[in-house]
Homo-oligomer: A and B are copies of this chain.
Amino acid sequence: MNDAQPVKKTSRIQLRNRKLILEAALEVFSQHGYRGATLDQIAVEAGLSKPNILYYFDGKEDIHVTLLNQLMDIWLAPLREIDPQGDPLKEVLRYVQRKLEMSRDLPRESRLFANEVLQGAPRMVPHLETVLKPLVDETATLIKRWVAAGKLAPVDPRHLLFSIWATTQHYADFDAQVQVLMGDAPVYEGASAHLDRMFRRLLAP
């Protein structure tokens, strides 16, 4: 009957509320995980009623998936910024620092992602395969070329990436433990220096 697609005009309010909800959901999901989070919490955090949340999203899972997909773009940005024309060592070390900054500035995003992968990434495997894998493959090729050209010490590109991700995100994901062990001491300054030295020593040709 009505073939006209209901091209939802995303009005000002629409945009604002969707943002409000996603922001609230990020807070709640990253803290309690998917199952641990409740729509009630998200609604309160967003300052909206529960049914109103469901007016903007199709359900709890829809919010979660939307969040994860949005996240991936932000999350992979630094990897995309590695300049194939740049100085190899400098490029990689800059990537490490960028990742560490993200860990410091966007810890909720890091935890949201960790939560999801930790449970087998049930809602993300497709995305990982279509978006992350090609990008990683490409980066691996680049690093191999750099190694072959003698610009970097020999290293397995994928394990290198794992190490970078693991060490940088650790400060966000395992923050509770870091807090206990570091007390009041500043964390990120030391981390920055430590990681810079570690990866510099690993990769300096």
Q: Which A residues are within 8 Å of any B CB, using their own CB?
A: 1-2, 31-36, 44-45, 47, 111, 114-115, 117-121, 124-125, 128-129, 132-133, 136, 153, 155-156, 158-160, 162-163, 165-167, 169-171, 173-174, 176-178, 180-182, 190-191, 193-195, 197-198, 201-202
Whether A182 and B202, one on each chain, are in contact in the complex, defined by CB atoms closer than 8 angstroms, is: no
Among the listed B128, B160, B169, which residue makes an inter-chain contact with A194, where contact means beta carbons less than 8 Å apart?
B160
- Tell me the bound Cα distance from A120 to B107 in angstroms: 12
Of the listed residues A35, A118, A198, the one surrounded by the most CB atoms of chain B closer than 10 A to its CB is: A118
Quick one: closest B residue to A48, CB to CB?
A: B2
Determine if B177 and A158 form an interchain contact, defined as CB atoms under 8 angstroms apart. Answer: no
Determine the chain B residues whose CB is within 8 A of the CB of A33 once the complex forms.
33, 35-36, 115, 118-119
